[in-house]
Amino acid sequence: MEVWRISLKDFSYSVGNTPPSWERLGGRGLIARILVDEVDPTCEPLGDNNKLIFSPGLLTGFMLSSCDRLSIGGKSPLTGGIKEANAGGTTGLKMSYLGIKTLIIEGIPEGSDWWIIHASKNGIRFEKANDLVGVGVYNTANALIKNFGNKIAISLIGQGGEMKMGAAGIQNLDKEKTPSRIAARGGLGAVMGSKRIKAIVFDSEGGEKPSLSNEIEFKNAQKEYTKALMAHPQTKIYADYGTNAMPSLSHPFGAIPTRNFSAGQFEDIEKINGDFMRDLLLSRGGESETTHACMPGCTIRCSNVYGGEDGKTIVSPLEYETVGLMGSNLGINDLDMIARLNYEVNDLGLDTIEIGAALGVAAEAGILEFGDGLRALEIIKEIKQGTALGRVIGNGAVVTGKVFGVTRIPAVKGQAMSAYEPRAIKGTGVTYATSPQGADHTAGLTIRAKVDHLDPSVQAEVSKKAQINMAGYDTLGACIFAGFGFASVPDVVRDLINARYDWHVENDFLQVIGKETIALEREFNKQAGFTKADDRIPEWMTKEPLPPNNSVFNVSKEDLDTIFDWI
């Protein structure tokens, strides 16, 4: 596998060998290594010293169920720290067929033209993209598929990235060619926009699967892993209800954000939860699908296609985080409306978590009423138009709070929390507080841990374990739900890695790469100026009791400060 490097200063590129210290890393871990090695942590995130990095995981390339993810990284314009955001879809797979271990994009081009980067077996070429400026991701993807053929993968931005908004992500095609798998968090779409790259097209024609060191052993390990994954009870739940199965867990715990994180239960939960959504989609039929795979080979199929009354697709997929942040968090109890909001935000290439949280803060400031979906749609239209209000919301919850004088902002390190209340699931609160990535459930979700989620004394340990495992999965290129299979067959990660690379790793490999990744990320953030004060839940959440448990976030500062005890 090779290191592909593009300099936008002179539109040159190189293809080189992987340095030894990068070899045993992929995905999130490799991004952390490259950022520590090559990017000044104090640089301007939207300036020419920041780099935009694309890295498939260590196990990407084999259609191993849910393991073909792509990580994208750089210094975050939202947090000012290290950022890795990952996505399913098809980009990781196509990159691995081209033999790309990592693609590093450097510099900012001179002039004002926008560009498409085209990567294939013939190398890199650049094409002008000025006609696509101001075009949303759905139409941009269609135009690129028409131009470059049906066999490509694409990473692209919408108007949010073009306007360098803090909530801008990078969209990727799913296996049906819908640009719906977004590396959403931390504003990496703005970094791509700062480099005036509208899209990167990966054409894997003539490419091939990466090599395996021992094909038979890989297949055996794959069989064991897939069997365990299919047998896991959670797999069926996610196949039936998608990620919107989650309210059945988060709501009883009083942990679903409601009206700008002012309550943990929503009175209309039965109008937006997974049961309701499944029945609705089954009754509507047409293009609706209750289960759908975002990438080839996924056996869990947690994605879906949300069809309207006429059976025509409104959005695909509609997921729990969006239902939480743009539904209950905005007091909206209408799934059709949430799906419409989701579609519009997707088209702008923005993160629904960050935009939902920003709208919640705006509602607290009186810019819209909780429950008013039409007003929320109008504001999203303003983001597209680039009005002052639209740009405020598009830059996320913290900017919105500052502009409108709201201090109840649900964010850590500048990034909005996802749909798990840290006062009700305190282990996830520890993750929000301490993860180098900022508030992000995928950095270490603890809702399934068998502990009292309100007991502050046990949460640091629970979060630590979850954060190490997740940093490991993100480095492998594995979806969070692949963990159901990996946890059921403890040696299978070791066996897969050894069959792929002949590295003779031990069965603690997942934890080894997880710890290494977090240590590198902490190092970057330290050099960027982060201190203990940045590893805190917002003060108001330590004082304001959250109904119905009337709990506050009260994990001790000492526990937060000692969680990464191996660094």
Strand order across the 82-87 sheet: 12-16, 2-7, 100-106, 51-56, 70-75, 82-87
Binding of residue 305 to ligand SF4 (CB under 6 A): no
Instruction: Kindly determine how many residues on this chain lie close enough to bind ligand SF4 according to the rule CB under 6 A.
Output: 12
Residue among 105 and 300 whose Cβ is closer to ligand SF4: 300
Which span sits near ligand SF4 by CB under 6 A: 92-100, 187-195, 226-234, 287-295?
Answer: 287-295
Which span sits near ligand SF4 by CB under 6 A: 37-45, 296-304, 426-434, 448-456?
Answer: 296-304
Binding of residue 446 to ligand SF4 (CB under 6 A): no
Least Å distance, CB 290 to ligand SF4, is 12
Cis peptide before 317 (omega within 30 of 0): yes
* Separation of alpha carbons 330 and 257, rounded Å: 9
Residues contacting 510, CB < 8 A, separation 6+: 469, 472, 473, 476, 486, 493
Q: Which two tokens stand for residue 474?
A: 């993100």
Binding of residue 189 to ligand SF4 (CB under 6 A): no
Sign of dihedral through CA atoms 70, 479, 79, 396?
positive
Binding of residue 300 to ligand SF4 (CB under 6 A): yes
Please classify residue 146 by burial: count the beta carbons closer than 10 Å to its beta carbon, then call 0-12 exposed, 13-18 middle and 19+ buried: exposed
DSSP H/E element including 125: strand 123-128
Binding of residue 202 to ligand SF4 (CB under 6 A): no
Binding of residue 384 to ligand SF4 (CB under 6 A): no
Binding of residue 362 to ligand SF4 (CB under 6 A): no
Binding of residue 295 to ligand SF4 (CB under 6 A): yes
Which span sits near ligand SF4 by CB under 6 A: 28-36, 130-138, 299-307, 321-329?
Answer: 299-307
Binding of residue 241 to ligand SF4 (CB under 6 A): no
Which span sits near ligand SF4 by CB under 6 A: 54-62, 144-152, 290-298, 393-401?
Answer: 290-298
Least Å distance, CB 514 to ligand SF4, is 19
Please classify residue 214 by burial: count the beta carbons closer than 10 Å to its beta carbon, then call 0-12 exposed, 13-18 middle and 19+ buried: middle
Which span sits near ligand SF4 by CB under 6 A: 97-105, 291-299, 418-426, 530-538?
Answer: 291-299
Any bridge partners for residue 305, and if so which? Answer: 289
Binding of residue 229 to ligand SF4 (CB under 6 A): no
Residue among 88 and 247 whose Cβ is closer to ligand SF4: 88
Residue among 319 and 516 whose Cβ is closer to ligand SF4: 319
Contact 242, 274 (CB under 8 A): yes
Binding of residue 180 to ligand SF4 (CB under 6 A): no
Contact 195, 75 (CB under 8 A): no
Residue among 50 and 71 whose Cβ is closer to ligand SF4: 71
Binding of residue 88 to ligand SF4 (CB under 6 A): yes
Binding of residue 476 to ligand SF4 (CB under 6 A): no
Least Å distance, CB 479 to ligand SF4, is 3
Binding of residue 183 to ligand SF4 (CB under 6 A): no
Binding of residue 316 to ligand SF4 (CB under 6 A): no
Binding of residue 460 to ligand SF4 (CB under 6 A): no
The residue written with tokens 């609160």 in the block is 429
Which span sits near ligand SF4 by CB under 6 A: 29-37, 75-83, 140-148, 288-296?
Answer: 288-296
Binding of residue 478 to ligand SF4 (CB under 6 A): no
Binding of residue 175 to ligand SF4 (CB under 6 A): no
* Separation of alpha carbons 372 and 368, rounded Å: 7
Residues contacting 230, CB < 8 A, separation 6+: 299
Binding of residue 445 to ligand SF4 (CB under 6 A): no
Cβ-based neighbour number of residue 208 at 10 Å: 12
Residue among 295 and 520 whose Cβ is closer to ligand SF4: 295
Binding of residue 303 to ligand SF4 (CB under 6 A): yes
Binding of residue 60 to ligand SF4 (CB under 6 A): no
Binding of residue 338 to ligand SF4 (CB under 6 A): no
* Separation of alpha carbons 163 and 349, rounded Å: 11
Binding of residue 481 to ligand SF4 (CB under 6 A): yes
- Which amino acid appears at position 135 of this protein? V
Between 335-347 and 352-364, two packed helices, what is the crossing angle to 10 degrees?
Answer: 120
Of the residues 298, 323, 397, 510, which one makes contact with ligand SF4 according to CB under 6 A: 298
Binding of residue 293 to ligand SF4 (CB under 6 A): yes
Of the residues 129, 294, 337, 471, which one makes contact with ligand SF4 according to CB under 6 A: 294
Residue among 487 and 552 whose Cβ is closer to ligand SF4: 487
Q: Which string of DSSP letters, residue by residue, matches 55-80?
A: EE-TTTTS--TT---EEEEEE-TTTS
* Separation of alpha carbons 280 and 309, rounded Å: 9
Contact 256, 266 (CB under 8 A): yes
Nearest to 235 by CA among 488, 548, 501, 533: 488
How far is the first Cα of the chain from the last one, in angstroms, to the nearest whole number? 30
Which span sits near ligand SF4 by CB under 6 A: 9-17, 160-168, 297-305, 433-441?
Answer: 297-305
* Separation of alpha carbons 414 and 39, rounded Å: 20
Binding of residue 66 to ligand SF4 (CB under 6 A): yes
Residues that bind ligand SF4 (CB under 6 A): 66, 88, 293-295, 298, 300-303, 479, 481
